[in-house]
Structure 1
Amino acid sequence: MEKEAKELRKLISALEESNCEYVIVGGLVAIHYGRNRVTQDIDVIVGNCDIKVLLNALVKQGFEFSRQELEEAFKERGRITLFIPEDVLFHVDLKFASDDLDLEVLKDRVRDKLMGIDCWIESVEDIIVAKLIYGSSQDEEDVIAVLLNKGIGERLKEKAKKFKAYNKLCGIAEMIGLVC
């Protein structure tokens, strides 16, 4: 995890130097909440920011990407991959907030230490709901591990209802012996 920590530190530095609203999501956060697995990327959602300042900060930190593609992703509220020169496999998936779930995740982010680095991460409730919505087999395995480690609280139930993932949450909970 040394490589991941190094790249996360560079990404957080660029985002915070740019005064961007951001939240780290996905696999690294699932690992943080108790899932034992590996990941090949850092997933981040970015909200409000000055794109020119962010672009310069990312270049300064050594990330490789198309400036034009980054500006288009910002305008279209899409996503872009940031490459790491020394590592062809590991990368950053940067998504600009575009829907209600992204905005909810940004609103309810928590400040915590991820791999020893102080940053904004997805709340435990939001990672579970997001992974229930996306629903790949890896997402379901992440949900199971996080639920077994963190349990099911009322806040999670409410978020799952809000995003129409409550039945799926309860189905997985029942399957692993938790009460929904």
Structure 2
Amino acid sequence: MEIVFSGRRISLTNKKINRLDEFVFEVSKILERYTDYVVVSGYVSILFGRSRGTEDVDFIISSLSLETFERLYNDFLENGFEFINADDPKELFEMLIEKQAVRVCKRGTIFPNAEIKLPKDKFHLEALEGKLEVMINGGKIFISPIELQIAYKLYLGGERDIEDAVFLYEIFKDHIDHEKLQYWKSQLGVEEFEL
């Protein structure tokens, strides 16, 4: 796999697409018809080649109306997905408004699933506003800025999270803004963590 970093766009070539990638592409295509989104957390490191599994993929979406959410809901159903939390779109929308995540998966399965949520803090807002476009074999998805992704994984602090942060840092250390990385580490209280 070859990674080319150019401004706000990252191109991946010769990446072997797996079932998890296909799932993320499908969810992303539906979401982008109705709202802005960004993929955050563990899948970002998996996307760039880290060999580990995950059961869910985290998506942050921009605010949307109930009417728009109902159309998004129906689009998911028409494309072979189902919601895990509830069957009623109004109930799911209320969950989103209350800063809870809604989960969607392919019908008849549970994993992988997409955990979809509205921004709950300035870090989620920055992920949406500063998102990067990743081009993969003709498709695209949006991910959080690498600097924020690394700092947030350090903040989460689990062994797997720290390994994800180190993995991303090693890949992108020559392409990231180190001042931004330090800023986000400071904002998240992990500035003492050296990579």
| Shift, 1:100, TM fit | 1.3
**Share of identical aligned residues, percent?**
25
- Match of 2:188? 163
Quick check: 44-53 or 134-143, which moved more?
A: 44-53
Q: Give the partner amino acid of 1:15.
A: L
Structure 1, unaligned stretches of length 5 or more?
174-180
Secondary structure at the counterpart of residue 164 of structure 1: coil
> CA 1:48–1:103 in structure 2 vs 1: closer, same or farther (change >3 Å)?
same
**Where does structure 1 differ by over 4 angstroms across 4 or more consecutive aligned residues?**
none
Between the two proteins, the alignment pairs up a number of residues equal to: 169
> CA 1:33–1:51 in structure 2 vs 1: closer, same or farther (change >3 Å)?
same
2:111 corresponds to 1:95: no
Is the CA contact 2:96–2:102 (under 8 Å) kept in the aligned structure 1? no
Query: What is the TM-score of this pair, normalised by structure 2?
Result: 0.77
- Quote the Cα distance in structure 2 between the aligned partners of 1:11 and 1:54: 11
- Match of 1:146? 168
- Quote the Cα distance in structure 1 between the aligned partners of 2:149 and 2:138: 20
2:95 corresponds to 1:73: yes
Q: Give the partner amino acid of 1:29.
A: V
- Match of 1:178? none
Secondary structure at the counterpart of residue 88 of structure 1: coil
| Shift, 1:116, TM fit | 5.6
Q: Give the partner amino acid of 2:18.
A: E
- Quote the Cα distance in structure 1 between the aligned partners of 2:44 and 2:90: 29
Secondary structure at the counterpart of residue 154 of structure 1: helix
Query: What is the TM-score of this pair, normalised by structure 1?
Result: 0.82
Is the CA contact 1:69–1:80 (under 8 Å) kept in the aligned structure 2? no
| Shift, 1:87, TM fit | 3.2
- Quote the Cα distance in structure 1 between the aligned partners of 2:168 and 2:46: 9
